[in-house]
Structure 1
Amino acid sequence: MYPTAPNRRVLLVGGAVAAVLLVAVGGVTAATMADQDDRQGQPPAAAPLPPDAGFTEFPATTSTGDTPSPDSTPTEPDTEPSPDSTTGPEAEALEQLEQLRQQDALTMVFDGRFAAQLASKSVGIVDPLQTTAAGSHTFTAADILAEHLALRSAPSQGTSVVLVLSTDFGKRQLYQGSPLWVTFALGDFSDREAVQRWCARRFPELAGERLTNQCTVRKLEAHP
């Protein structure tokens, strides 16, 4: 059976629509392919970097639970002991300091006379203007003893050098809760200026703050 005329018109319309769609799709496909052809051989655009790219923020401290990377080698903790004031050289130095203090206490008179203070240190004190034999500014008991013995054995220029604790006289001064080992040069000092003149003669290589740090005026007064 042959289709009627109206059916043939429907087919013609449908064919026309299909043809239009094919042309459109073909145009889009051709345009896409042309665009791809134009971009062939060019590197792709790089993705934008985050604001902190290239910067790594490390924590101020590393927790003990951190796991080292496979190629890292764990290091042994620093186990070098700090000076022990109860055993070894530190204990021996403290014992010798105490013996010198008791020996010199027999000759000390705290009656307000002037004296030259040559050293004043406690264990662990830091003096940025003086250096120990090891090149440190932190003084151990052994360093304090060595300094006192050096001052004691040097030419006295008419004075005697003695050792006391800062709690033996005056206001019983403490430094961070500990008494200081104080080295004095005792002489016939009539006043403050006499002590200052003696200090300048005793340490001619020093001046200004360094001289005052090494040799200064003190009055030996009894406990209030």
Structure 2
Amino acid sequence: MESVVTCSFLEKLFRHLGFVRLDGISEVDGTRWLLPECILVVFAPAVYFACLKLTAFTSPDVHLPTEENSGTKNIGLRVLNAVGTYLAVALIGGAGVMVPSITSAVYFFIFMVSATYWSLNNALGRRFGYVCRGTMVFSGIHIIFLYIYQTQWIQQNIDPTDLPARVFGMTAVIGTDCADPRAAPLLTDEWSRFVNPILLLILYFVSSFESQFLLSNQ
């Protein structure tokens, strides 16, 4: 029994696979383990059937836009382009300064180059679409590494206080207490450490939509 509830190899293996014992667990930790699964069970089928319904009623007929609708669409596209570009540049700049490191220096460099080019009365346009596409890929990889770094095995091999972790911005937000490894004690009280993953996730989606918009409409 002890090998299942302590930080033994078997317990760590099952915990990293998402299997934990729930007897005697606190309400907060129980919610943290079960709530994502419950949300997934409810929303996954709903999203699936919604997609089926939307694709089933797609009309194959092509309707040419009228001149009035075309003008309205062009105005809407210009507004979306302006808002999306401002938002993307701002998010890239925020990601570059939130947690200073070599990784965030990439975002800061992209921000400085894009902002400087834009300030010289140059339109970012399609080129910025490729920049957003690259930023999307980089931020996605960055988020994955940050997520993986919250696991116990990685933190045991690369301590959060070690130079490589600090240089590359691998911040440990939660840790593992072997007295109850199902819990997730916070390892930092710096607000920037909590905001950074959220900012990167927003940047990922904004970069995805903005790159698709710029590369398909110009």
Instruction: Return the structure number with greater strand share.
Output: 1
TM-score normalised to structure 2 length: 0.21
TM-score normalised to structure 1 length: 0.21
Instruction: Return the structure number with greater helix share.
Output: 2
